[in-house]
Amino acid sequence: MNKIIEKFGKSFSKIILPFLYKLFFVFKINKRAANYFEEKSFFSNNKQNFEELIKFFLEDKKIIALDVGAQGGFNSDEFFSKKYNNFFEPVLVEPIKDEAEKLKRKNKYVINNGLWSSKTQKKIYVLENRLGSSSMYEPDNNLFQLHKIKSEDYKNYDVTSTIEIECNTINQSLSDLNIFKLDYLKIDTQGAELEILKGIGNYKPLLIKLEAHIHSMYKNVPSWNELLDYAYKLNYVVIDWKGIGSHTTRVPAEMDMIFIPNFNNLDGIKLIKNNENIFVCLMIIFGQINLLKIIANKNNFKNLNKINNLKDYYSY
């Protein structure tokens, strides 16, 4: 029996184990390929051009968009194709005065304060080596390894300075600009999304994009389920998400999540119907075509023939 076990052990180490390593390597490559094709599929509708159709539905109107976390300009993350940027009237947020003045040269609306759930002062932790990761929450280097950050890159997350800024709510900041309607809201603020969303007041966007931290690398960031719960309390439902960032768990570190008014109750449908054409445009721009068709047909939208003729390549 011992000889049989010994013989099997030698065979396992010489033949079976190398074969398994090769098999795992192939699976790893296939996983990367699957991730690549999933990314391409997510943006598959971007290859279509709906500019003429959007012009028809908007009738020379603009989609009012508040972009919170717009470093690099409106739609800097290119979550939808830049060919649609001209259909938006962007409102950008820049609490640092000198930077706000630069934005005002090219943009009609700039909010020159930070955003929070109330009028207050907050501290920004500035990461000059990685400005896109500056936050109102301090990075926690005890979590970097879990985020697969290499030790030689830890310095990129050093807090190089802190800035005290004045903050106000979305509600008050938009009112100060004499903007009383909001169609699209994006918040990407490295953990402050929940507190900013709490200041939305009576504004009711037709589409909201939020960055949710599943596993945050910042100290004391609220759990992502609190952000999700709050959006649902506002009568929004999630219709899409996209994982971003690596983590040693089997889930992404963060997600970009897309919400629209709850189309399964009367209040949500009323909001959509009262702003039907802009809702149609936003759903087209974000590639949500099949869902748009269902909502439009159930609620007898105008121009159903134009909507029903659309193709959703994400589902093919």
CA angle 171, 173, 179 (to 5 degrees): 80
Contacts of 308 (CB under 8 A, 6+ apart): 293, 296, 297
> 75-121: per-residue pLDDT in tens?
877 889 999 999 999 999 988 787 788 888 888 999 999 999 999 99
pLDDT for the residue 95 = 85
Residue 211 has phi, psi (to 5 degrees) of: -90, 125
Residue 97 has phi, psi (to 5 degrees) of: -55, -50
CB atoms within 10 A of CB 253: 20
> 212-221: per-residue pLDDT in tens?
999 999 999 9
Mean pLDDT of the region 111-137 = 92
What's the predicted TM-score (pTM) here?
Answer: 0.86
% of the chain at pLDDT higher than 70: 84
Q: Taking the alpha carbons of 164, 165, 166, 170 in that order, is the dihedral positive or negative? A: negative
User: Which CATH code, of 3.20.20, 3.30.720, 3.30.1370, 3.40.50, is assigned to 49-111+178-315?
Assistant: 3.40.50
pLDDT for the residue 16 = 60
> 267-281: per-residue pLDDT in tens?
999 999 999 999 999
CA angle 285, 207, 70 (to 5 degrees): 80
Side chain identity at residue 287, one-letter code: G
User: 36: pLDDT confidence band, cut at 50, 70 and 90?
Assistant: very low
How far apart, in whole angstroms, are the C-alpha atoms of residue 21 and residue 16? 9
How far apart, in whole angstroms, are the C-alpha atoms of residue 253 and residue 244? 6
> 141-171: per-residue pLDDT in tens?
999 999 999 999 999 999 999 999 999 999 9
Q: Residue written as tokens 């945050």?
A: 216
Q: What is the DSSP string of 189-214?
A: -TT-HHHHHTT-TT---SEEEEEEES
How far apart, in whole angstroms, are the C-alpha atoms of residue 72 and residue 188? 13
User: 315: pLDDT confidence band, cut at 50, 70 and 90?
Assistant: low
> 164-195: per-residue pLDDT in tens?
999 999 999 999 999 999 999 999 999 999 99
Mean pLDDT of the region 70-74 = 73
pLDDT for the residue 255 = 95
